[in-house]
Amino acid sequence: MKIKSAHLRTIEHKFVCVQGIWKPKRSHQLVTQNKQESNSGNSGKVSVYHITYDGNRKCMAFGFEVKNKSSLVFPVVTHGEKLEVEVLPTDKPITAGSFDEKFLFQWCGQIISGDWRSLESVAKPKTYLCVEKGKVTITKERVPYFKIKYSDKKKDEESRSSGSDKILENKTNEYKTISFQRRNLKRGSSCCEGSVAPNKPLRCRKTKRIKMSVKS
């Protein structure tokens, strides 16, 4: 089993996150919000558990973080017509044995432009995740509605590092260019003031031309 940190995005360019509800009883639900990835906070992060189920089926379970990180909220599919959630505390190890088929989803259908695909439940009867009125639910229709945006901290760190190196390199090159220009300026002024070597050939040629014009 592999676990990857990510965000689950919808085709409407929104993020799936956890929202607390208190009526009729205290619980959680999955909703979509217009949050940018950098501002989504813990409520927008999901741990994607990649699991091989029933021999060779590649499936996933989605554990959404609550703000205090004390638990993960998983969407589950039972025999009802609504999507339910199950909460697992994070103070105990979550292993592949923690999940049965009601937790599991798999990609299905063709990928459409933008890598959007359908998420199908492993539990039967087959249903598909969808969004209705800002809430994540299930439907019997296959809709290419989701994609996973994995977090890549290493890549971000390398990008920031390379950016710093470029800034430093630019500053170094700028300093070298300024120093080189200053040296050239100093050399140019000294040649004009103290050296007449570049002007000697011109004076000689001019003098010869004057003498020839006098003789003629």
Write down the mean pLDDT value for the chain: 76
Radius of gyration of the chain (CA): 35
The predicted structure's pLDDT at residue 184: 54
Name the pTM for this structure. Answer: 0.68
Question: Looking at residue 98, what is its pLDDT?
Answer: 95
Cα 105 to Cα 19, 50, 76, 83, 121, distances in angstroms? 21, 10, 9, 13, 4
CATH 2.80.10.50 fits domain 2-151: yes
What's phi and psi for 141, nearest 5 deg?
-95, 140
Q: List, for the chain, all residue ranges whose pLDDT scores fall below the cut of 50.
A: 37-41, 155-172, 175, 178, 180, 185, 189-208, 210-216
Model pLDDT, residue 40 = 43
pLDDT of the residue at 8: 96
